[in-house]
Homo-oligomer: A and B are copies of this chain.
């Protein structure tokens, strides 16, 4: 099966990311339906031509006609949904997701899934500080990274199809990582940075910060506006990898503290030269 416009695509969970997937795929001429428990979300998506069909129920006809199903739910809801409703999937359907952590969910889904279905995991590294399909915007994918996260049991065809979704949505970079490496990387570049942003906002009681902040502080704390239900779940599901990355960062930060305490100017400049060189690679 290839990603072409005859396929029926079903999005389960029509929030910011599910909605942006629907919008991007629908704009490109794909047939997109959606299931979401929230009546307003479905209504909004239908009225704004983001989806062709939608339902707030576990709609048998939508599910059984879908060739490709994209789950954009909280991890534990995703697992329960598949357990309860997988008997409705069309034979040979391909299932993918947008979950931000992988090891804890990918193998569970693959283990319980009917043998005539295939689950191929993906992580679109895009987001906003606002929620819901009303804020959906497929432009958020244009500068973003898309990571396909296959296991040993995934087929070449499913992996290619999963990459094709990233290409269709016009992600800037598409790559592939096994679940463990993905979770370590995400623990570092995404979860650790969110921990830092949160702590920067919670460690000061000053009410006048806004009068004195430059771009630096604004940039480092933009992601401190955070959905506490989703992110606490993501942190716990990736606990070991995140703790390990936090430890690495604390060690480095304490070393920098000592360098300053000892007024070791040469060592300090070395660190700055190194950080400058590494960061410059991002701006090429």
Contacts and interface: CB of A to CB of B under 8 A. Distances in A.
What is the total number of copies of this protein in its complex? 2
Interface residues of A, number: 86
B276 A212 contact: no
B276 A225 contact: yes
Nearest to A174: B211
Given A188-B204, A197-B275, A210 B281 contact: yes
Interface string A223-263: 11111110110011001001100111111111011001101
Decide if the interface of chain A is mainly helix, strand, loop or mixed: helix
Contacts of A263: 236, 239
Interface stretch (A23-31, A60-68, A91-99, A264-272): A264-272
Nearest to A238: B260
Contacts of A115: none
A256 B231 CA distance: 14
A282 B212 contact: no
Interface stretch (A4-12, A48-56, A213-221): A213-221
Nearest to A246: B257
Given A198-B275, A199-B252, A202-B275, A193 B210 contact: no
B281 A125 contact: no
A226 B275 contact: yes
Contacts of A273: 228
12 contacts: A126-B214, A126-B215, A127-B215, A145-B214, A195-B253, A196-B196, A197-B220, A200-B249, A201-B278, A210-B282, A220-B220, A226-B275
